[in-house]
Structure 1
């Protein structure tokens, strides 16, 4: 069974996981129904095209991102967001490098197993 995060997460204390390939991830909060994650992209990095059973909303904090969802690509900048339905093929490239906040429902169990 999945645990849940602490009620408060402090950005300067929470672990930042180096995923390799110019990506880093920090867990912000979660239970079995919901998860929020901060993602850093180095300049020019592409996150591979993939799909999953979770609903996802992504918010752009910093940088420029070229998001592809089900074959449609849009450029997102700080303050922009996108909704990715369950099982939709999606991926992103950041020509500038940047930071995203990803939210998932239900939580991504695979993020906690790694």
Structure 2
């Protein structure tokens, strides 16, 4: 990936992408080594179980999430976070609706193509 975000991104000027299924995504900054993304979940929305080659840390900004990481399910609330190692299946459901901040290393090339 040869792309990189601007050095400064402003929330009210940065595109929010509707992913469907009650999910929206906004890029917070990235280069080939690192990426941060804000993800909105509508009430009851699900980030389906999947896996990828990237290390991921997710921080719960708002709402409640039932997170499945490697078959272990935990309830995460604001201020909580989880580490998802490369190639580990994971997903989340938000019964309340909420906001996550996802970070990836290396960056998710598929998010900017």
TM-score, length basis structure 1: 0.98
Q: For residue 92 of structure 2, what is the aligned residue in structure 1?
A: 92
SS of 1:13's equivalent in the other structure is: coil
SS of 2:68's equivalent in the other structure is: strand
Deviation, 1:46, is 1.0
Q: For residue 29 of structure 2, what is the aligned residue in structure 1?
A: 29
SS of 2:14's equivalent in the other structure is: coil
Q: For residue 2 of structure 1, what is the aligned residue in structure 2?
A: 2
TM-score, length basis structure 2: 0.98
RMSD value, Cα = 0.6
Contact 1:2 1:109 in 2 (8 A): no
Q: Count how many residue pairs are aligned between Structure 1 and Structure 2.
A: 113
Q: Where has structure 1 moved over 3 Å in runs of 4 or more?
A: none
Deviation, 1:2, is 2.4
Q: For residue 78 of structure 2, what is the aligned residue in structure 1?
A: 78
SS of 2:43's equivalent in the other structure is: coil
User: Hey, what's the Cα distance between the residues in 2 that align with 1:2 and 1:39?
Assistant: 24
Structure 2's unaligned 5+ residue stretches are none
